[in-house]
A and B are shown apart, each in its own frame.
Chain A
Amino acid sequence: MTDTLPQDEDLRTAIVADGVNVYYGEKQALFDVDLDIKQNQVTALIGPSGCGKSTFLRCINRMNDVIDGCRVEGRIALDGDDIYDRSVDVVQLRARIGMVFQKPNPFPKSIFDNVSYGPRIHGIAERKADLEEIVHDSLVRAGLWNEVADRLNEPGTGLSGGQQQRLCIARAIAVRPDVILMDEPCSALDPIATARIEELIDDLRENYTIVIVTHSMQQAARVSQRTAFFHLGNLVEFGPTDQIFTSPRDKRTESYITGRIG
């Protein structure tokens, strides 16, 4: 397994996972995963279906807490602090770590309300003008502003799939998180919408740390700097994306990348 690589040394480590084991009831889904995620980088998680990518991603913002019977062992630290520590408040944690889901899931409310919901409940902005500014900025950064500027009061569910997904990204960044987790954000989208979102991810990297789960090797190669390959709940290989794709060290990685497993 890889550790910090030379060109990464100047980047701060945002998240460190140390010996993470996850169980759904009796069944173990992740085995001893060690992974460190650098700030302002895109880290891709790849691997065959059911290997535990989503499970790992959900550990990072503790979305697994709401699943009955799910148990997480080990340590995951965000900026050095264990996020599973008793003193950590999940609500606050999730405000710092945003998430975009596989299926676009806008609230059945207006576009404006979708984006302003996070800032409003966290009390980041109370005044209408502040909220409007946040909604504007987030939509601009999510590359959706031009398409919805004149219909902010229309339902978010009335947008196309790709627009909905960008709306969800805008909703996530409106809370101004440090980290954005994306679980197969393009799986329901056509190539053009996918390309737009990939562009967007690349832009967002400047200000955010991004972890993305993807089934598309090309996408991982295009958007990420580092790639982690999971197999049957194990982290098999982790390193710079070019290295994983050009000269994988593990046989399983190689067969997966060349299309023999998964």
Chain B
Amino acid sequence: MSGNREGRGRMSRSDTMETVRKGLRSRYAAERRFIWYGRGAIAVALGFLVLLVGSILIKGASVVTQTHIRLTVELPLETFSKNGVVTAESIGAANYVGLVKSSLRDLFPDVSGRRDKRALDSLISSGAPYELRDHVLANPELVGQSIDIWLSASDDIDMLDKGYIDRDIDSTGRRVTDKQIGWYDKLIADGRLERQFNTTFFTSGDSREPEQAGIWGAALGSFYTLMVTLLLAFPLGVTTAVYLEEFAPKNKWTDLIEVNINNLAAVPSIIFGLLGLAVFLNIIGLPRSAPLAGGVVLALMTLPTIIIAGRAALKAVPPSIREAALGVGASRLQTVTHHVLPLAMPGMLTGSIIGMAQALGETAPLLMIGMVAFIVDLPGGPLDPATVLPVQVYIWADSPERAFVERTSAGIIVLLLFLVVMNLSAVMLRKRFERRW
């Protein structure tokens, strides 16, 4: 330990090493602490995610099945024919409500009185007559026979069967009466009540009756809307980004444009809805409630995101690639399309998918153009009235029936699945573009 005399602050080599060694402990400790903070944060985030998705799954998973009741229905020839001839028209005109009611009452012959009869009728879904009609229309040879058919039970019976209605509490506190529970038990005992795959939910549009309401209409609406958004926003966004980054001179005009694009990304989404209403519906005259109008509005909202991400991706392409291409005599456009864009594509896709995911979850801008609406029919294309998944979830969440709670959660699951599919396809596309070397 010599050499400390060489002026203040200077240490000998061994002193230096000693100081470094002492400091090391706290430096490593800090690093370890940081790592644990990080892990803790991830654990908390994951915990909330599991809680959220788990509770939604638990509430929503039961929508996969729907309670059905097996009725024995007589299809007398005279009901289904006109002047002795059975036609599609005469089949369609039959009184299916009556048929369903009488078949159900046949199972419980001792029920009498208007109130009891009505209570009995309400075991079966009000959509059941339509199910019966569709079945007979599809199989006209059944006319004249007596058939066994599974028809949807009402939402209350469905909830009772799935255990969401507590039969042990006082009957005034629940939506099914003691009598109805008795009939329900008898149906089970006779093997006439069963839960079957819920085709309705996955193939229909919305309905006031929970057991008749499906998510498919909204899913189609979301699909058409996002298609319009993608087809508009992606090419426009990429072209804008390429122009601004690769071709535009850097001057105060382009600076101004850049600032405005960045600001646009922060504009509340409902403003875009107002714009859509004022311009696309009132001036241009796009159809109200249609995915076309919704898609255009969402495209406007998504554009800044795509442009900003696109420019960042273009900036990340090394300038040496551009020089190489220009150096062998490629034009500027060739340089961009042959070399720069393929390298920037993964980044652009990531930006676009973030924008599209935002668009998928938007309801506010669609409010203004009439896509927040009760729409029963499945949209056949981007010009038909439609609603979208988050709006559907919102509408169901706002409905009082217990069965809509289940459907709300199920709607959220479908929305999340939609998102996952979108993200996966983006990842796959990105993999294809990512340079393999």
Chain A neighbourhood of B330, CB < 8 A: 91, 117, 121
Q: Does A195 contact B (CB under 8 A)?
A: no
| Least CB separation from B343: chain A residue | A108
Closest-CB distance, A117 to chain B (whole angstroms): 6
The smallest beta-carbon distance between B2 and chain A, in angstroms, is 40
A91-131 interface with B by 8 A CB criterion: 91-95, 98-101, 103, 105-108, 117-118, 121-122
Contact assessment for B328 and A63 in the assembled complex, using a CB-CB cutoff below 8 Å = no
Residue pair B327, A101 in contact (C-beta under 8 Å): yes
What is the minimal beta-carbon distance from A66 to any residue of chain B, in angstroms? 7
Contacts of A168 in B (CB 8 A): 324
From A68, A100, A105, A157, contact of B437 by CB (8 A): A157
Chain A residues whose CB sits within 8 angstroms of the CB of B249 once the complex forms: 68
Number of inter-chain CB pairs below 8 Å = 68
Q: Does A55 interact with chain B (Cβ within 8 Å)?
A: no
Asked if A172 is an interface residue, CB under 8 A from chain B, the answer is: yes
Residues in B with CB closer than 8 Å to A91 are 329-331
The answer to whether B329 touches A122 (Cβ under 8 A) is yes
Verify if B430 is at the interface (C-beta below 8 Å from A): no
Within 8 A of A (CB), among B319-355: 320-332, 334, 338-339, 343
Residue of B nearest to A108 (CB): B435
Q: Are A105 and B321 in contact (CB under 8 A)?
A: yes
Q: Is the CB of B326 within 8 A of A105?
A: no
In angstroms, Cα B320 to Cα A99, docked, is: 12
A94 with B320: CB separation less than 8 A = no
Chain B CB within 8 A of A171 CB: yes
Chain A residues whose C-beta falls within 8 Å of the C-beta of B5 in the assembled complex:
none
Q: How far is the CB of B434 from chain A (nearest CB, A)?
A: 10
- Of chain A, the residue at the smallest CB distance from B437 is A155
CB of A50 within 8 Å of the partner chain: no
Which residues in A have their C-beta under 8 angstroms from that of B329?
Answer: 91-95, 118, 121-122, 175
Residue of B nearest to A171 (CB): B328
Residues of A within 8 A of B327 (CB): 61, 63, 94, 98-101, 172
Taken together as a complex, chains A and B put the C-alpha atoms of A99 and B328 apart, in Å, by 7
When distances are taken between beta carbons in the complex, the residues of chain B under 8 Å from A157 are 437
How far in angstroms is the closest Cβ of chain A from B323? Answer: 6
* Cross-interface CB contact of A107 among B325, B332, B436, cutoff 8 Å: B325
Chain A residues in 8 Å Cβ range of B334? 121
Contact (Cβ within 8 A) A63 B326 = yes
Contacts of B343 in A (CB 8 A): 108
**CB of B25 within 8 A of chain A?**
no
Minimum distance in angstroms from A168 CB to a CB of chain B: 7
**Docked pose: A155 CA to B435 CA in angstroms:** 10
Kindly supply a per-residue 1/0 record for chain B positions 246-257, scoring 1 wherever the CB is within 8 Å of any chain A CB and 0 otherwise.
Answer: 000110000000
Contacts A91-B330, A118-B329, A155-B436: A63 and B323 contacting too (C-beta < 8 A)?
A: yes
Nearest CB on A from B437, distance (A): 3
> Is A158 positioned at the interface, with any CB of B under 8 Å from its CB?
yes
- Whether the Cβ atoms of A101 and B437 lie closer than 8 Å is no
Given known A105-B323, A108-B343, A121-B334, contact A172–B328 (CB-CB < 8 A)? yes
> Which residues of A79-97 have CB atoms within 8 Å of chain B's CB atoms?
91-95
A101 to B249 Cα, complex, angstroms: 25
CA distance A158 to B435 in the complex (A): 12
Tell me how far the C-beta of B307 lies from the nearest C-beta in chain A, rounded to whole angstroms: 20
B323:A107 contact, CB within 8 angstroms: no
Would you call B328 and A94 a contact (CB within 8 A)? yes
Establish whether residues B320 and A105, one from each chain, have CB atoms under 8 Å apart when the complex forms: yes
Bound CA span A122–B334, Å: 11
Q: Which of B320, B324, B327, B331 has the most CB of A within 10 A?
A: B327
Q: How far is the CA of A171 from the CA of B330 in the complex (A)?
A: 13
Asked whether A118 lies within 8 Å of B326 as measured between CB atoms, the reply is no
Per-position binary interface string of chain B over residues 60-101, scored 1 when its CB falls under 8 Å from any chain A CB and 0 otherwise? 000000000000000000000000000000000000000000
Q: Given A103-B320, A155-B436, A158-B437, verify A66-B326 contact (CB < 8 Å).
A: yes
Complex interface: chain B residues within 8 A of A107 (CB): 321, 324-325, 339
How far is the CB of B413 from the nearest CB of chain A, in Å?
Answer: 41
Interface string of A136-162 (1 = CB under 8 A from B): 000000000000000000010110000
Nearest-neighbour CB distance to chain A for B51, whole angstroms, equals 44
Measured between beta carbons, the chain B residues less than 8 angstroms from A93 are: 329
Question: How far apart are the CA atoms of A175 and B327 in the complex, in Å?
Answer: 11
- Rounded to whole angstroms, the CA-CA distance of A103 and B327 in the bound complex is 13
> In the complex, A122 Cα to B330 Cα: how many Å?
8
Q: Which residues of B contact A108 (CB under 8 A)?
A: 321, 343, 435, 437
Contact assessment for B328 and A117 in the assembled complex, using a CB-CB cutoff below 8 Å = yes
What are some 5 contacts across the A-B interface (CB < 8 A)? A101-B324, A105-B323, A107-B324, A121-B329, A175-B329
Beyond contacts A93-B329, A101-B323, A105-B323: 8 other A-B pairs, Cβ-Cβ < 8 A, are A68-B250, A95-B329, A98-B328, A100-B327, A108-B437, A117-B328, A117-B330, A171-B324
